Structure 1
């Protein structure tokens, strides 16, 4: 399992557009992705689950990635946050 924290830097937090970009990216991989924010957990491959977290700009979130391609999944996820969700 790969576990890491990221800061939400996208303007407006994880609202519909960035949540969609995140979920579309994660669904390209086989690993499971758990998002942890304020004692709530979400399936990173479910847009409703991601949006229900209510993560805002400046908040910190923990990701747990587990599966056959966990390293590649984690790397792609970290890259998405580094480029501020630019596709």
Structure 2
């Protein structure tokens, strides 16, 4: 299991469009992916639960990834959330 705290750098955070893109990326992996913010958690494939976290640009989140492709999943999602690409 991998766990990493990140500061979200996506403009406007995880609003509808960015959340849908995030969930699409998550479905490409077999690993279980969980987002956590302020004590609330959401499955990375559940768009509505992610939206309920109200993740804004500059917010700190915790990304938990557990599974056979966890390293690749963590790297891919970290790049997306940090708006590196």
Structure 1 residue runs without a partner (length 5+): none
Structure 2 residue runs without a partner (length 5+): none
- 8 Å CA contact 1:21, 1:85 repeated in 2: no
Report the secondary structure of 1:3's partner residue: strand
Residue 69 of structure 2: aligned partner: 69
Matched, 1:8 2:8: yes
- 8 Å CA contact 1:5, 1:62 repeated in 2: yes
Report the secondary structure of 2:28's partner residue: coil
What TM-score comes out, normalization by structure 2 length? 0.92
Q: Deviation above 3 Å: which 4+ runs of structure 1?
A: none
What is the CA–CA distance in structure 1 between the aligned matches of 2:68 and 2:56, rounded to whole Å? 30
What TM-score comes out, normalization by structure 1 length? 0.90
CA shift digits 1:19-66 (9 cap, x unpaired): 011000010000000111011000011111111100111110001100
Alpha-carbon RMSD: 1.3
